[in-house]
Structure 1
Amino acid sequence: RGTSSQNYYDILGITPQATDEEIKRAYRKAALRLHPDKNPDPEAATQFQAVDKAYKVLIDPKLRSTYDQLGARVF
C-alpha cells in the first residue's frame, strides 16, 4: 500500500475541490494519527512524510495550481 500511486488529495482524504480549511483539518487529523511522536509504527513515519508533502503542496496556491495541472511527477 504505497503512497506513490496515490495522489495528494487521496493521501489527505479530500477532494480536489477542498478548501484551505478542509486541507488543514485533514492534515491535522492525519498528523495526530501518523506523527512519529504519536505512532511508533515505522510505516506510520513513511505515511506521515507523504501526508506532510501533500499538505505542503496543496496548501500553497501556486504549488497546488501546478500540481493540479501537471500532477505529482513534478514534485
Structure 2
Amino acid sequence: MKDYYAILGLASDATSEAVRTAYRRKALQFHPDRNAAPEASEKFREIQEAYDVLADPGHRFAYDENRRRNLLDKPLETALEIWQHYIEGVLQ
C-alpha cells in the first residue's frame, strides 16, 4: 500500500489546504516539463495519484480507514482499539 501522505510530505492529520499546497509544490518540482530526471514522470504520476485520493473527502476517508486497518499509524494503539471493539462486540 502506498503512503500518499509520505509521497506529498505530509502528516496524516494535514488539512485539505495543506494537501493542496504540498501537491502544488511537489508537482512543480517533478513535472516532466520542468525536471529532466528519468524518474520525474513516474514521481509526478505518484504525486498526482496521492493528490487525487487525499483531495477528495470520500476517498481520503476510505484511504485513512484502510491505513488504520493496516496498522500503519500507531500500531500498538490501533491494535488495542481493534481488540477493545472486538471484545465489546463479543460480550454484548
Aligned twin of 2:15: 19
Q: Distance in 1 between matches of 2:38 and 2:15?
A: 31
- Higher-RCO chain (CA-CA 8 Å, sequence separation at least 6): 1
Q: Secondary structure at the match of 2:20?
A: helix
Under a length normalisation based on structure 2, what TM-score does the superposition of the two structures give? Answer: 0.69
Aligned twin of 1:43: 39
| Deviation at residue 70 of structure 1 after TM alignment | 1.4
State the identity %: 45
Q: Distance in 2 between matches of 1:63 and 1:46?
A: 22
Q: Distance in 2 between matches of 1:66 and 1:25?
A: 22
The residue type paired with residue 27 of structure 1 is Y
Which runs of 5 or more structure 1 residues have no equivalent in the other structure? none
Can you list the C-alpha shifts for 1:9-59, whole angstroms capped at 9, x where unaligned?
Answer: 000000111011100000000011000111111201111110100000000
Under a length normalisation based on structure 1, what TM-score does the superposition of the two structures give? Answer: 0.84
The residue type paired with residue 40 of structure 1 is A
Report the structure, 1 or 2, having the larger helix content. Answer: 2
Q: Distance in 1 between matches of 2:33 and 2:22?
A: 18
* Structure label with greater radius of gyration: 2
The residue type paired with residue 63 of structure 2 is Y
The residue type paired with residue 49 of structure 2 is K
Which runs of 5 or more structure 2 residues have no equivalent in the other structure? 68-92
The residue type paired with residue 3 of structure 2 is N
